[in-house]
Amino acid sequence: QQPVQSPQAVILREGEDAVINCSSSKALYSVHWYRQKHGEAPVFLMILLKGGEQKGHEKISASFNEKKQQSSLYLTASQLSYSGTYFCGTENMGRRALTFGSGTRLQVQP
Amino acid sequence: DTGVSQDPRHKITKRGQNVTFRCDPISEHNRLYWYRQTLGQGPEFLTYFQNEAQLEKSRLLSDRFSAERPKGSFSTLEIQRTEQGDSAMYLCASSPRPGLGPSSTDTQYFGPGTRLTVL
């Protein structure tokens, strides 16, 4: 079953912060976050593993709440280059492939 | 360029024709995935290979779709008797052998995709 992402879209001014949420109705082993720009392939951002810690990449970090089967992506002091669609991909028990959400469209304006 | 490559990047075909796409994964990645993405949606899983073995197929993969990875390196995805509903971006991803840990999935690196348009 597809994970649910929220919000569906967000518009930010450069320098503002944003949080993107991803929730699943099934037990998760891991959550993978990707960013995709229009017409391009999804680019890997980070992976959150069950039992793992919050991961970070520069001003982008994420958390994984195993009890709630939720993950959140935190974008701090957003830059124009952060614009794109963010997808979470979830790994469930017994499956090797990822199930992706519908995405969150993020637009950072100057 | 050592990333995942796909060929062709664009394909326009008429309904009823057969098409074949190729994916070359990152060298030494033993896992290869095919996904399909339509406008405004996330990638949808189609099938997965570990080396040359096709270990999982989605119910989305009708009998008109077939995928191979004959020598555990590149892979092909063939669609027979194409339909307009097959129009989408077909993405390939590869991942290395996972390390120790609870997750059986390692980071998947995506190729640029093949955009299929069925007229």
Tell me, letter by letter, the H, E, C secondary structure of chain A: CCCEEECCEEEEECCCCEEEEEECCCCEEEEEEEEECCCCCCEEEEEEECCCCCEEECCEEEEEECCCCEEEEEECCCCHHHCEEEEEEEEECCCCCCEECCCEEEEEEC
For residue A1, what are its two tokens? 């079953």
Share of chain A above pLDDT 90, in %: 58
Q: Which of B26, B31, B103 to mutate to test the interface with A (most CBs of A within 10 A)?
A: B103
Q: Which of B29, B108, B109, B114 to mutate to test the interface with A (most CBs of A within 10 A)?
A: B108
Instruction: Tell whether omega for the bond before A7 is within 30 degrees of 0, i.e. cis.
Output: yes
Task: Indicate the range of A62-71, A73-82, B55-64, B103-112 predicted with least confidence.
Answer: B103-112
Kindly determine whether residue B40 and residue A102, on different chains, have CB atoms separated by under 8 Å: yes
Kindly determine whether residue A29 and residue B91, on different chains, have CB atoms separated by under 8 Å: no
Contact between A100 and A107 (Cβ < 8 Å): no
How do residues B54-109 score in pLDDT, each as one tens digit? 988 988 788 999 999 998 899 999 999 999 999 999 999 998 866 544 445 578 89
Which residues, numbered 47 to 86 in chain B, qualify as contacts with chain A under a Cβ-Cβ cut-off of 8 Å? 48, 50, 55-56, 58
